[in-house]
């Protein structure tokens, strides 16, 4: 044991034995984790559950409420899904705003974080072992070789979902003024709000699929008998855009006070057009500031080379 400890100290530094013990512990945990996840259900628990629950129906109409056998992650739901209701709702809302509406979205998201984190950690450990066999690596560099890939692999799904959510919000924001104009035309032509939402969703499907999908969900939920106020508020929550939230507030207040929907849409559509023009002007005013650094880096060095270059060459030639 003393010889092994001396060899590890020479190869990995003073913390070499501790690092080997830690890696061995991680390996043992990963080795025993599948056995805990695949733990068989107690027959007595299954009998008790069957005694207190009514018999499940196997009709096709009931299959949507039963977990599918094709879902390989169903057995790991306790491990992959947050048990806190608030945390689960927050992750689910984040995925909804990113466009992931599957009932297993939270489970798949956490599984990807876990799998990519462990995979990158193992890859970093392999790379660290290869580097140790070729040269001497200090302890800090070794920890960074192993830990940084694992952290990147774990954070990659979160970064992807965040970027996708922001992109989707921007697309909905850009499409919303045009959708209000189309909705106003439909309402003034004599259609109801539900009919105008269906028509707008069909018209926007090619150019703005994100907003068209949200309007289609609203129409389907309204046809299913869900309260219109609840449907509109759910749409605002799924989109996560302030303009949609303000639109929902206007529509709900118009329905409660009995005012004309067309008048409310006309005023709000005009405000959204003005707001879009102001956003365009704001982006245009930011452009010169953003281009200043690039202009200086790309223009000043060539100009200085053209103006001062011949003089420097002449001075060097005369003194040479």
pLDDT for the residue 56:
43
Q: For residue 157, what are its two tokens? A: 């799904």
What confidence tens digit (pLDDT) does each residue in 23-55 have? 776 666 666 656 555 555 555 555 555 555 544
Q: Are 95 and 77 in contact (CB under 8 A)?
A: no
Question: What value does the mean pLDDT of the chain take?
Answer: 79
Which has the higher per-residue pLDDT, 296 or 238? 238
Burial 7-29 (b: 16+ CB within 10 A, else e): ebeeebbebbbebeeeeeeeeee
Q: What is the DSSP string of 257-307?
A: HT--HHHHHHHHHHHHHHHHHHHHHHHHHHHHHHHHHHHHHHHHHHHHHHH
The rounded distance, in Å, linking the Cα atoms of 89 and 229 is 21
Residue linked to tokens 């739901």: 77
Spatial distance between the Cα atoms of 177 and 194, rounded to a whole number of angstroms: 18
Instruction: Give the residue with greater pLDDT, 205 vs 40.
Output: 205
Instruction: Compute the distance between CA of residue 275 and CA of residue 241 in angstroms, rounded to an integer.
Output: 14
8 Å CB contact between 193 and 232: no
Smallest Cα–Cα separation from 73: which of 104, 96, 46? Answer: 104
In the predicted model, is pLDDT for residue 75 greater than 80? no
What pLDDT score does 54 carry? 47
Residue 65 in this model has a pLDDT that exceeds 60: no
Which pLDDT score is estimated for 290? 81
What are phi and psi for residue 99, nearest 5 degrees? 100, 5
- Residue 186: closest CA among 201, 208, 165: 201
**How does pLDDT run across 233-279, given as a tens digit for each residue?**
989 988 988 889 998 998 888 888 888 888 888 988 888 889 989 98
Rounded to an integer, what distance in angstroms lies between the CA atom of residue 228 and that of residue 206?
Answer: 26
Q: Round to whole Å and give the CA distance between 247 and 150.
A: 43
| Band of residue 163 on the pLDDT scale cut at 50, 70, 90 | very high
């Amino acid at each position: 044991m003393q010889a092994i400890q001396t060899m590890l100290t020479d190869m990995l530094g003073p913390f070499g034995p501790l690092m080997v013990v830690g890696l061995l512990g991680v390996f043992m945990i990963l080795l025993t984790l599948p056995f805990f996840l695949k733990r068989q259900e107690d027959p007595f628990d299954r009998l008790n559950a069957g005694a207190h629950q009514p018999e499940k129906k196997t009709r096709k109409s009931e299959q949507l409420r039963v977990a599918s056998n094709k879902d390989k992650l169903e057995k790991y739901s306790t491990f992959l899904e947050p048990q806190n209701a608030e945390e689960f709702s927050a992750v689910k809302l984040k995925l909804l705003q990113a466009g992931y509406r599957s009932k297993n979205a939270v489970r798949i998201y956490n599984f990807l974080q876990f799998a990519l984190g462990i995979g990158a950690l193992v890859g970093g450990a392999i790379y660290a072992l290869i580097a140790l066999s070729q040269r001497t690596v200090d302890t800090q560099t070794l920890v960074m070789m192993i830990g940084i890939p694992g952290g990147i692999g774990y954070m990659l799904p979160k970064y992807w979902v965040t970027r996708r959510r922001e992109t989707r919000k921007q697309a909905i924001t850009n499409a919303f003024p045009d959708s209000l104009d189309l909705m106003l035309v439909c309402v003034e032509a004599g259609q109801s709000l539900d009919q105008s939402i269906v028509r707008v969703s069909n018209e926007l499907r090619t150019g703005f699929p994100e907003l068209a999908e949200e309007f289609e969900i609203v129409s389907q939920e309204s046809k299913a008998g869900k309260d219109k106020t609840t449907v509109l508020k759910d749409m605002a929550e799924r989109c996560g855009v302030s303009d949609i939230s303000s639109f929902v507030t206007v529509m709900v207040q118009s329905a409660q006070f009995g005012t004309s929907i067309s008048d409310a849409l006309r005023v709000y559509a005009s405000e959204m057009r003005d707001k879009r023009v102001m956003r365009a002007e704001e982006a245009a005013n930011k452009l010169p500031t953003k281009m200043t650094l690039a202009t200086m880096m790309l223009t000043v060095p060539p100009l200085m080379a053209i103006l001062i270059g011949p003089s420097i060459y002449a001075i060097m030639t005369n003194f040479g």
